[in-house]
Amino acid sequence: MPVRQDYLLRMIEQAFEVLRRILKRRQSGEPAQAVREADGAVDEILGPAAAVAVRLDSFTAAQLIREPERVALWARVVAEKAEALRELGDEPAARAAGRRALELALEAWLLEDEQRRLTPALRAVLDEALAMGRGWAAPDELSERHRAALERVR
């Protein structure tokens, strides 16, 4: 199996395992644990770059990561974190996380559009993150770059 295919298969497996853990916590009525799982998952997904990437704006963070697969998965995890924060009653943090999820999903889409390499499974993760993120941020809350990307995605 070529190295790239092997890498993508591992990425898909990681995506579903990470999301399964977070969803299990949310479905068990443990939103605080889901938030912690999401934060830990970001560290898993991004590796050593996580410490820096989470502090950067979405564009710069995506450029640092450069892999649409990782950025798409990160976006999906942040979208789940937003839902868990809402369940905890922390609406400001939930909205901020939701907006971040949408921005990251748009950045993943832009990277994928540039590189044209997402697998169907990871494309589904990206589409879910985009759908979830749209509910969190109005277009006028986004940067010009993200508004333009949102128009192209529709």
pTM for the predicted model, two decimal places: 0.86
What is the SS3 string spanning 58-102? HHHHHHHHCCHHHHHHHHHHHHHHHHHHHHCCCHHHHHHHHHHHH
Radius of gyration of the chain, Cα coordinates, nearest whole angstrom: 15
Q: What is the rounded distance in angstroms from the CA atom of residue 13 to the CA atom of residue 54?
A: 23
Provide the percentage of residues in the chain whose pLDDT is more than 90. Answer: 51
Four-point Cα dihedral 108, 110, 114, 119, nearest 10: 40
- pLDDT, tens digit, for every residue of 24-77? 999 999 999 999 999 998 998 898 999 999 999 999 999 999 988 889 889 999
Q: Which residues contact 84 (CB under 8 A, 6 or more apart)?
A: 22, 25, 26, 31, 32, 34, 35, 38
User: Domain-by-domain residue ranges, the chain?
Assistant: 3-153
3-state SS, residue 56? coil
* Per-residue pLDDT tens over the stretch 101-128: 999 999 998 988 766 666 676 677 778 8
pLDDT tens, position by position, 3-26:
666 776 777 787 788 889 899 999
